[in-house]
């Protein structure tokens, strides 16, 4: 029987979100119902509510979450009731060309729960990124659940479900940052700071944080950056070259998603260096570059999808490092809030006041 719980709904384009009773069906084959314990507020939730992703309103927002598996449907082998899990928005198919070539992070046939959660009147909800975890309980595909150590705080664990994994993975998985490398991170919000933390974990010798906001640079220094550059005050490409013996960084991570910062990232890398693009641009943005520079500068340009992560490999590993005190995931939680505070959290996020607000239950 479907259960009634409270969830945060975006009802229409640019309308403030509201908390409503929703119906969560029993899990079908391959599905699980998760009792959510924490869910971070991410830019993508705001994009949904602004109508920037698609117009399949009403949305059940929230997708950066951890909780307990309450019940599982037929044939579920991944998890059992009582497991503490982090949810991911890309349960890969295992069958497609990318999956079979051993690169499941490029799988574009990912799946979610098949039956809809609904409003009380039966209106189907579109769960944000196939999760919908600003709710006391949510229904997901069992493959979206990764079991991790239950000793860790849910607010911290949930962060790995999206932005923090995207940033750490951009450095470690996509960028392949190695011991002694120089790394520059352009844009030090939650994602960029996570890239700083990832570069530090990987043993980078120099980590140069670039942002236009001094408050963000201060936080980046606390998280592990060794140098900071305010790109309102100085040319970031010159500054990065100056800090790397005139060469440019071995790995430059772009975590803003704008043409000018893409261009800075392109020129701030060492000739044989790697640029990792994790900031998401909008459809109308374009970048014009002299082909001779594209050809002549060598190295590589890579985009990073969800940190090119493998949840079953990366989530437990990062939780371990956190528990050992080698990765301070708590530094990303600016505040914990209640389910009714999501709209205010969007405002604070928009003003650049927080790295992450996390709803806890």
Q: How far is the CB of 86 from ligand APR (least distance, A)?
A: 18
Which of 216, 227, 269, 322 touches ligand APR by CB under 6 A?
Answer: 216
Asked if 188 interacts with ligand APR (CB under 6 A), we say: yes
Q: Which does 186 bind (CB under 5 to 8 A by kind): Zn ion, ligand APR, none?
A: ligand APR
Tell me, residue by residue from 279 to 318, as one string, x for binding to ligand APR by CB under 6 A and - for no binding.
xx--------------------------------------
Which one of 162-170, 172-180, 215-223, 313-321 is the stretch in contact with Zn ion (CB under 5 A)?
Answer: 162-170
Q: Is 42 in the site for Zn ion (CB under 5 A)?
A: yes
What is the spatial distance between Cα 342 and Cα 42, in angstroms, rounded to a whole number? 10
Scanning 109-117, 138-146, 222-230, 274-282 for contacts with Zn ion by CB under 5 A, the matching segment is 109-117
How far apart are CB 72 and ligand APR at their closest, in Å? 31
Q: Which two tokens stand for residue 33?
A: 């119902």
Query: For residues 223 and 193, is the Cβ–Cβ distance under 8 A?
Result: yes
Is the CB of 58 or the CB of 307 nearer to ligand APR?
Answer: 307
| Residue of closest CB approach to ligand APR | 189
Tell me how far apart the alpha carbons of residues 42 and 163 are, in angstroms, rounded to a whole number. 7
Q: State which H helix or E strand residue 198 sits in.
A: helix 190-201
State the minimum distance, in angstroms, from the CB of residue 99 to Zn ion: 3
CA distance to 21, 24, 28, 87, 113, per residue, from 5 (Å): 5, 7, 18, 19, 17
Question: Is residue 150 part of the contact set for Zn ion (CB under 5 A)?
Answer: no
Quick one: what does residue 109 bind among ligand APR, Zn ion, none, with the CB cut-off 5 to 8 Å set by partner type?
Zn ion
Report if residue 280 touches Zn ion, rule: CB under 5 A.
no
Q: Does 40 bind ligand APR (CB under 6 A)?
A: no
Nearest alpha carbon to residue 20 among 132, 158, 113, 131? 132
Among the residues of 16-96, which ranges form H helices? 43-49
Contact 275, 252 (CB under 8 A): yes
Partner that binds at residue 99, options ligand APR, Zn ion, none, CB closer than 5 to 8 Å by kind = Zn ion
The answer to whether residue 44 forms part of the interface with Zn ion (CB under 5 A) is: yes
Q: How far apart are CA 212 and CA 290, in angstroms?
A: 26
Nearest approach, Cβ of 97 to Zn ion (angstroms)? Answer: 8
Distance CA(128)–CA(60), nearest Å, equals 6
CB of 354 to ligand APR, least distance (A): 8
Stretch binding Zn ion (CB under 5 A), from 97-105, 222-230, 234-242, 324-332: 97-105
**Contact letters for Zn ion, residues 231-250 (x by CB under 5 A):** --------------------
Q: What is the DSSP letter of 256?
A: S
Q: Where are the extended beta strands (E) located within the chain?
A: 3-10, 18-24, 31-40, 59-60, 64-72, 84-87, 118-119, 126-127, 137-141, 145-147, 182-186, 206-211, 227-230, 249-254, 269-277, 300-303, 335-337, 357-360
Q: What minimum distance in Å lies between the beta carbon of 331 and ligand APR?
A: 14
Q: Pick from 17, 33, 86, 99 the residue near Zn ion by CB under 5 A.
A: 99
Chain centroid, CA 117 distance in Å: 24
Q: How far is the CB of 346 from ligand APR (least distance, A)?
A: 12
Cα 151 from Cα 188, distance rounded (Å): 29
Contact by Cβ (8 Å): 208, 240: yes
Backbone angles phi, psi at 97, to 5 degrees: -60, -45
Based on CB atoms, which residue is closest to Zn ion, 44 or 182?
A: 44
**Residue ranges binding ligand APR (CB under 6 A):** 43, 163, 166, 186-192, 210-213, 216, 231, 255-258, 260-261, 278-280, 352
**Residue ranges binding Zn ion (CB under 5 A):** 42, 44, 92-93, 96, 99, 107, 109, 162
């Amino acid at each position: 029987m479907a259960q009634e719980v409270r969830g945060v709904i975006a009802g229409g384009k640019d309308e403030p979100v509201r908390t409503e009773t929703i119906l969560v069906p029993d899990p079908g084959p391959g599905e699980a119902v998760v009792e959510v314990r924490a869910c971070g507020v991410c830019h993508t939730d705001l994009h949904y509510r602004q109508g920037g992703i698609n117009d399949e309103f009403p949305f059940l927002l929230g997708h950066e979450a951890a909780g307990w598996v309450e019940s599982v449907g037929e044939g579920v082998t991944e998890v059992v009731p009582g497991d503490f899990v982090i949810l991911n928005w890309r349960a890969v198919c295992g069958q497609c060309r990318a999956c079979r070539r051993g690169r499941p992070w490029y799988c574009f046939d990912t799946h979610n729960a098949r039956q809809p959660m609904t409003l009380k009147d039966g209106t189907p909800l579109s769960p944000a990124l196939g999760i919908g975890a600003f709710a006391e309980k949510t229904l997901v595909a069992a493959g979206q659940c990764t079991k991790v150590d239950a000793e860790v705080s849910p607010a911290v664990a949930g962060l790995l479900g999206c932005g923090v994994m995207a940033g750490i993975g951009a450095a470690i998985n996509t960028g392949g940052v190695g011991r002694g490398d120089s790394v520059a991170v352009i844009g030090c919000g939650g994602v960029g700071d996570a890239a700083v933390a990832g570069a530090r974990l990987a043993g980078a010798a120099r980590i140069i944080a670039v942002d236009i906001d001094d408050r963000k640079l201060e936080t980046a220094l606390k998280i592990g950056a060794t140098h900071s550059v305010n790109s309102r005050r100085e040319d970031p490409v010159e500054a990065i070259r100056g800090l790397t013996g005139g060469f440019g960084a071995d790995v430059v991570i772009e975590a803003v998603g704008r043409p000018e910062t893409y261009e800075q990232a392109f020129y701030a890398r060492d000739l044989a260096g790697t640029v990792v693009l994790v900031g998401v641009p909008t459809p109308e943005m374009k970048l014009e570059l002299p082909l001779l520079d594209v050809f002549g500068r060598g190295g590589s340009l890579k985009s990073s999808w969800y940190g090119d992560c493998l949840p079953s490999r990366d989530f437990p590993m990062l939780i371990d490092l956190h528990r050992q005190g080698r990765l301070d995931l708590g530094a990303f939680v600016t505040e914990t809030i209640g389910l009714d505070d999501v709209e205010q959290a969007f405002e604070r996020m928009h003003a650049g006041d927080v790295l992450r607000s996390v709803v806890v239950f």
